[in-house]
């Protein structure tokens, strides 16, 4: 008898999950979403410790090797297996066209070493010269160099700091504005509501790109690049909040009219308590999902602006800036210098990952169509 009771309890404990646990379980079932999450985790980790993973500083010009193709990693030299190594590149001139051509110097394998000393950089406030990998004498460019001989891999990793943070900071700003404006508009109504609604309407009347271009051109060209970066984020966020404010207003309006909110009001709860305890919890899942699906827009927006030369400025770098260098080279890029397109692959990968992740979150947060 007592045994039966305890097993009953065990069964009950097994099935009682909180909403968040249920959502997490549903999320984990979506394989693409989990893949997206891990891609993003790796990308942000690389961005955080960019100086360590990058073999060179982004502004160092290796003038002797401009537009060098990527150096492959090899394991076999002269028929014998070795630790990972690379061949240095040497420049030859084509005897007919006099074009510069790189080729691997197969006589001189260079071992790729881990934790090598190189250029000093700033790692989260600590000055250090330790890099994850490199070779001892000579140069190693895993993804080749640009026309000034700067290491593309290093520039891409460091550039991801800009490209990946634009979305996060932009979302924080636009969500703060959007939630406050939408919340006030929905909760208080009246003339404040009217005013805010007109404002969002006007902002939403502009197609995104033209107004983005015009606004980003307002940022003075002689500002330091950190200010320009913040300016770009602010411009992106300024365009982004209006749509959100409208949705938040609608959600607040419906949350305001449900019985438990009315009851709280009748019991004399303060506005703040009603907003924080009864309305905000209704919004959180929606906001999280919307945020993760909105970030790609910021990443694409930043890359587009930087690509057009209206975004982040040198010496800072971002994926958009790296692609702008491709544009200067004309359309022959795919045949002549295809490795310069790799930062574009990073844009696609990060946006894909965010979309996978966001879609999975949306499905996980959806309690209506539970299987």
Residues that bind another protein (CB under 8 A): 198, 201-202, 205-211, 213-215, 217-218, 220-221, 296, 300, 303-304, 307-308, 323, 326-327, 331-335, 341, 344, 347-349, 351-352, 355-356
Euclidean distance between CA atoms 339 and 250, whole angstroms: 47
Q: Please identify, using beta-carbon distances, which residue of 44 and 217 lies nearer to another protein.
A: 217
CA atoms within 13 A on the CB side of 155: 32
Beta bridge partners of 92: 101
CB of 341 to another protein, least distance (A): 7
Residues in the chain: 371
Rg over CA atoms, the chain: 27
CB of 342 to another protein, least distance (A): 11
Cα torsion through 65, 68, 74, 76, rounded to 10: -70
Token pair belonging to 276:
């924080």
CB of 338 to another protein, least distance (A): 8
List the Cα angle 306/181/211 in 5-degree steps: 30
CB of 307 to another protein, least distance (A): 6
Euclidean distance between CA atoms 305 and 111, whole angstroms: 40
Q: Name the nearest CA neighbour of 347 among 156, 80, 71.
A: 156
Alpha carbon distances (Å) from 76 to 84, 85, 106, 151: 8, 9, 11, 25
CB of 203 to another protein, least distance (A): 8
Is residue 114 within 8 Å of 133, Cβ to Cβ? Answer: yes
Q: Please identify, using beta-carbon distances, which residue of 109 and 311 lies nearer to another protein.
A: 311
List the Cα angle 354/360/361 in 5-degree steps: 85
CB of 5 to another protein, least distance (A): 43
Q: Please identify, using beta-carbon distances, which residue of 195 and 263 lies nearer to another protein.
A: 195
Euclidean distance between CA atoms 5 and 8, whole angstroms: 5
Q: Please identify, using beta-carbon distances, which residue of 234 and 308 lies nearer to another protein.
A: 308
Q: Please identify, using beta-carbon distances, which residue of 79 and 332 lies nearer to another protein.
A: 332
Q: 367 φ, ψ to 5°? A: -90, -10
CB of 319 to another protein, least distance (A): 10
Q: Please identify, using beta-carbon distances, which residue of 276 and 341 lies nearer to another protein.
A: 341
Euclidean distance between CA atoms 117 and 136, whole angstroms: 9
| Mutual angle of helices 280-307 and 342-365, in 10-degree steps | 170
Q: Please identify, using beta-carbon distances, which residue of 116 and 300 lies nearer to another protein.
A: 300
| Matching residue, tokens 């006007």 | 202
Q: Please identify, using beta-carbon distances, which residue of 144 and 296 lies nearer to another protein.
A: 296
Q: Is 92 helix (H, G, I), strand (E, B) or coil?
A: strand
List the Cα angle 284/286/291 in 5-degree steps: 95
CB of 145 to another protein, least distance (A): 19
> Hey, which bits of the chain come out as E strands?
74-77, 80-86, 89-93, 100-104, 110-111, 113-123, 126-134
Q: Please identify, using beta-carbon distances, which residue of 269 and 333 lies nearer to another protein.
A: 333
CB of 146 to another protein, least distance (A): 16
Token pair belonging to 166:
């634009």
Q: Please identify, using beta-carbon distances, which residue of 3 and 218 lies nearer to another protein.
A: 218
CB of 254 to another protein, least distance (A): 20
């Amino acid at each position: 008898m007592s045994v039966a009771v305890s097993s009953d309890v065990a069964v009950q404990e097994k099935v009682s999950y909180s909403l968040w646990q249920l959502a997490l379980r549903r999320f984990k079932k979506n394989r693409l979403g989990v893949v997206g999450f891990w891609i993003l985790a790796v990308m942000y980790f690389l961005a955080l410790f960019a100086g360590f993973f990058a073999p060179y500083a982004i502004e160092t010009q290796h003038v002797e090797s401009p537009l060098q193709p990527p150096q492959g990693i090899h394991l076999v030299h002269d028929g014998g297996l070795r630790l990972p190594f690379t061949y240095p590149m040497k420049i030859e001139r084509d005897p007919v066209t006099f074009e510069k051509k790189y080729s691997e110097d197969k006589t001189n394998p260079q071992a790729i070493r881990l934790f090598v000393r190189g250029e000093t950089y700033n790692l989260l406030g600590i000055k250090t010269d330790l890099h994850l990998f490199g070779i001892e004498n000579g140069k190693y460019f895993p993804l080749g160099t640009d026309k000034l001989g700067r290491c593309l891999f290093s520039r891409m990793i460091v550039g991801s700091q800009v490209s990946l943070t634009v979305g996060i900071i932009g979302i924080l700003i636009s969500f703060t504005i959007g939630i406050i404006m939408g919340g006030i508009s929905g909760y208080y109504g009246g003339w404040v509501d009217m005013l805010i609604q007109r404002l969002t309407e006007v902002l939403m009347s502009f197609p995104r790109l033209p107004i983005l271009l015009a606004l980003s051109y307002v940022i003075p060209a002689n500002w330091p690049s950190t200010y320009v970066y913040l300016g770009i984020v602010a411009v992106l966020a300024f365009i982004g909040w209006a749509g959100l404010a409208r949705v938040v207003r609608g959600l607040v309006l419906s949350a305001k009219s449900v019985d438990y909110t009315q009851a709280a009001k009748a019991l004399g709860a303060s506005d703040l308590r009603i907003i924080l305890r009864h309305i905000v919890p209704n919004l959180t899942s929606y906001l999280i999902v919307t945020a993760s699906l909105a970030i790609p827009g910021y990443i694409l927006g930043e890359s587009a602006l930087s690509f057009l030369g209206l975004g982040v400025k040198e010496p800072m770098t971002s994926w958009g800036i790296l692609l702008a260098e491709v544009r200067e080279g004309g359309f022959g890029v795919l045949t002549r210098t295809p490795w310069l397109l790799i930062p574009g692959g990073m844009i696609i990968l990060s946006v894909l990952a965010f979309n996978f992740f966001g879609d999975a979150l949306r499905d996980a947060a959806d309690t209506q169509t539970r299987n």
